Amino acid sequence: MSSVVQGFNPRTGEPFGDGVPKTSDSEVDRIASAAAAAFGPWSSLPATERADVLDSLADALDASSELLITTADTETALGVPRLTVELKRTTNQIRLFGEVLREGSYVEATLDTANPDIIPPRPVLRRVLRPLGPVAVFSASNFPFAFSVAGGDTASALASGCPVVVKAHSAHPRTSVETARVVASVLPEGVFGIVYGTESGRALVQHPAIKAAGFTGSTGGGRALFDLAQGRPDPIPFYGELGSVNPTVILPGAATPDIAAGFAQSLTMGVGQFCTNPGLVFAPASIVSALGEAVAASGGGAMLNERMCDSYRASTDALAASDLVTVVSTGTKPDEAWAVEPRLFTVPLETFRDNLEKLTEEHFGPAGIVVTYSDPADLVDVLRRLPGTLTGTVHAAPSDHEAAGVIAEALRHIAGRLIFNAWPTGVAVAWGQHHGGPWPATTNPLHTSVGATSIRRWIAPVTYQSWPDELLPPELQDANPLNIPRRIDGVLGTH
């Protein structure tokens, strides 16, 4: 077994750069222990000062953009335009958490005054969310910046006051090295660490210093780590973002040929390697040919690594060879080592319903299945039986609005984000975003991995009962020295 994690160029299949040494168990222990030692000083740093550090980190990543993007393009084949946007998204979300810290409501400061006359009598109670401790972050393959070393999990955990130890993804080790170099140059000693190799990830999630973990990746890999996290002598929260088929319902009034281009663009974006890829579409049979023509006119590209390429080819070939679906169209692909082409299949609703488990398997890549129906009312029961998913989408004309409401209610039970007349690819980094959903979309549907409230994963409530004002955290002191939003005796305000 190799002692290094070797990066490759997906366009050529050739090794790229020097291999990165795998992290030994003893080194994992050293890094995790350093994070534990850094927890006290980092979590005690005033939120506004942590915000300043995050701003400096974003600036440093922007300053290193040329090297980071060039390295990532060679190692992932995602393209300079896409990676340029992704890196900017990454630094913007780091800055967003600076805004979250300065605004202050994320700690959910809640104060109850004493009331001896009720039953039971109420003492002075003051509740606030406090950081858990060092966090393990597992990088994603398909987003070498936004969901990796300096991605949303890292940014939100750092903002909360938790040091972070990243497990780098094997698909882009050199990108991880360069990004980690920038991050480590800004943050205090021990607040950030990184490990390499599959075994280091297992050791990390089981290390007693680690108090929570975030993961974006496959269902199998995420489930294995989730089980390790729950099997510890002291189980820890494990927030995994896993598989998602992202069902899209095109209602009759919206079933016009001009919807096809948007579908094909979303299906093939990033060679289909998006967690929000619209892989399952419910549509009238009348637009299948238009959808097929749009996919046939689309191009594929090199996938992130050889294993993903082989898996996509094998799973879509098996689907095409089955008697369950009909091949509608196949797009083109470049002459590159790990390149794949887009593929579109179709199946009647009745066949889909009878083979739901098999036909809802995720084909990670630019493949989609169109399930044809005659009456939107027939979809409700099927939609409720779909596995948990990050998104559910409805395309509707004004004449479809009554049906759209019924479909949305069915999707609400299985999806974390409901989209109207748009496509699910593209996840805005904002206060109102929710990027989560029931299993297997995530391991915990209460939380999001994107947006301001993703910080909520790394903090837990502590209530101070009858403590003197001068001994309380500033968020709970009578004078509200931080001037943050607080709820006092049930009333929310800046008081």
The percent of residues in the chain predicted with pLDDT above 70, rounded, is: 100
Q: Is 334 contained in some domain?
A: yes
pLDDT of residue 74: 98
pLDDT of residue 186: 98
Q: Return the residue matching tokens 């968020």.
A: 475
Q: Which of 90, 136, 135, 127 is nearest to 109 (CA)?
A: 127
Q: Is 490 contained in some domain?
A: no
Band (261; pLDDT cuts 50, 70, 90): very high
Q: Is the pLDDT of residue 265 over 90?
A: yes
pLDDT of residue 364: 93
Instruction: Give the count of domains, the chain.
Output: 2
**Claim to verify: residue 339 and residue 262 sit in the same structural domain:** yes
Using CA atoms, how far apart are residues 392 and 222, in angstroms rounded to an integer?
22
Mean pLDDT of 178-199: 98
Residues across the chain: 495
pLDDT of residue 58: 98
Mean pLDDT of 259-280: 95
* Tokens describing residue 72: 């990532």
Question: Helix or strand or coil: residue 484?
Answer: coil
pLDDT of residue 449: 96
**Claim to verify: residue 11 and residue 106 sit in the same structural domain:** yes
Q: How many CB atoms lie within 10 A of CB 45?
A: 16
Q: Is 391 contained in some domain?
A: yes
Q: Is the pLDDT of residue 476 over 90?
A: yes
Mean pLDDT of 446-473: 97
**Claim to verify: residue 217 and residue 82 sit in the same structural domain:** yes
Of these residues, 75, 178, 241, 475, which one is catalytic? 241
Q: Tens digit of pLDDT for each residue in 400-414? A: 999 999 999 999 999
Domain, as residue range, for 410: 247-420
Band (120; pLDDT cuts 50, 70, 90): very high
Using CA atoms, how far apart are residues 401 and 191, in angstroms rounded to an integer?
51
**Claim to verify: residue 131 and residue 253 sit in the same structural domain:** no
Band (245; pLDDT cuts 50, 70, 90): very high
**Claim to verify: residue 61 and residue 120 sit in the same structural domain:** yes
Cβ-based neighbours of 426, under 8 Å, separated by 6 or more: 276
Q: Is the pLDDT of residue 1 over 80?
A: no
Question: Helix or strand or coil: residue 305?
Answer: coil
* Tokens describing residue 70: 């060039």
Mean pLDDT of 67-87: 97
Using CA atoms, how far apart are residues 414 and 394, in angstroms rounded to an integer?
14
Specify whether the CB–CB gap between 162 and 132 falls below 8 A.
yes
Specify whether the CB–CB gap between 330 and 292 falls below 8 A.
no
Mean pLDDT of 412-438: 96
Band (359; pLDDT cuts 50, 70, 90): very high
Mean pLDDT of 65-86: 97
Using CA atoms, how far apart are residues 193 and 438, in angstroms rounded to an integer?
31
User: Which strands form 486-488's sheet, in the order they lie side by side?
Assistant: 459-465, 125-131, 110-112, 486-488, 491-493
**Claim to verify: residue 231 and residue 352 sit in the same structural domain:** no
**Claim to verify: residue 29 and residue 135 sit in the same structural domain:** yes
Residue type, 229: A
pLDDT of residue 426: 87
Mean pLDDT of 234-261: 96
Q: Is 123 contained in some domain?
A: yes
Band (431; pLDDT cuts 50, 70, 90): very high
Specify whether the CB–CB gap between 413 and 359 falls below 8 A.
no
The partner residues of 486 in beta bridges, in order of sequence, read 493
Of these residues, 75, 162, 178, 275, which one is catalytic? 275
pLDDT of residue 55: 98
Residue type, 374: S
Q: Is 390 contained in some domain?
A: yes
Alpha helices (H) in 45-79, listed in sequence order? 47-63, 65-76
Q: Is 479 contained in some domain?
A: no
Specify whether the CB–CB gap between 461 and 128 falls below 8 A.
yes
Using CA atoms, how far apart are residues 276 and 243, in angstroms rounded to an integer?
9
CATH of the domain at 185: 3.40.605.10
Q: With b meaning 16 or more CB within 10 Å and e meaning fewer, what string describes 57-69? A: bbebbbebeeebb
**Claim to verify: residue 218 and residue 316 sit in the same structural domain:** no
The interaxial angle of helices 173-186 and 65-76, nearest 10 deg, is 160
Alpha helices (H) in 207-354, listed in sequence order? 219-231, 260-268, 288-296, 306-321, 349-354
**Claim to verify: residue 36 and residue 135 sit in the same structural domain:** yes
Is position 470 annotated as part of the catalytic site?
Answer: no
**Claim to verify: residue 271 and residue 353 sit in the same structural domain:** yes
Mean pLDDT of the chain: 97
Mean pLDDT of 466-470: 97
Q: Is 426 contained in some domain?
A: no
Band (243; pLDDT cuts 50, 70, 90): confident
Using CA atoms, how far apart are residues 403 and 376, in angstroms rounded to an integer?
7
Q: Is the pLDDT of residue 57 over 90?
A: yes
Q: How many CB atoms lie within 10 A of CB 43?
A: 18
The percent of residues in the chain predicted with pLDDT above 90, rounded, is: 99
CATH of the domain at 392: 3.40.309.10
Dihedral of the alpha carbons of 302, 304, 305, 309, in degrees to the nearest 10:
-50
Q: Is the pLDDT of residue 2 over 90?
A: no
Is position 241 annotated as part of the catalytic site?
Answer: yes
Q: Is the pLDDT of residue 130 over 80?
A: yes
Mean pLDDT of 76-100: 97
**Claim to verify: residue 76 and residue 139 sit in the same structural domain:** yes
Q: Which of 199, 146, 150 is nearest to 170 (CA)?
A: 199
